[in-house]
Amino acid sequence: MADFDVPPCLVEDFEEDGSLTFILGRWFAPHDTVFERDSCYRPICPGPLHINHCLWKYACAHKDRTALVTSDGQPTALFERQYNLFGQTMQEAKTTLEHEKRAYFGLLSPKNVIRVLSMCPVFLSDTSTPDPHTWLQSVTVL
């Protein structure tokens, strides 16, 4: 970290060995089927689960991640070399690439975590297969 300009607010977070700890978080956005918000502006789940559930989808970046996709939309050489991190076959990896190329991530300081949420993927209609794109948040009053 000696080569980086560290914001003054992070200086106190350095460990004795000079390291910093962050949380890599993936951002969510309100699901497309949601039209109401609660008092905390969370997207209220439609249907019978509206009482204590919110419905989310993964947020998307405005452009493709250049580590995964070239400017003409093709997989990068890096992706081609390490496709097995995205699936067991090249076809599975390319399907995952389509879902992940606009993934929107952020770094968070652990001191900014207020509480842990309870979220899980919903299931594809009439199956027991999780839908990796739609997430249900259980909301409990503390």
pLDDT by 10s per residue, the chain, length 142: 567 777 777 777 888 887 888 999 999 999 999 999 999 899 999 989 999 999 999 999 999 999 999 999 899 999 999 999 999 998 999 999 999 999 999 988 888 898 888 999 999 999 999 998 899 999 986 5
The candidate with the shortest Cα–Cα distance to 86, out of 74, 101, 72, 71, is: 101
Q: Please enumerate in sequence order all residues whose Cβ is within 8 A of that of 98, keeping only pairs 6 or more positions apart, or say none.
A: none
pTM: 0.79
Confidence (pLDDT) at 91 = 92
The candidate with the shortest Cα–Cα distance to 93, out of 110, 102, 80, is: 80
Cβ proximity of 20 and 10 under 8 Å: yes
Residue whose tokens read 């009053």: 141
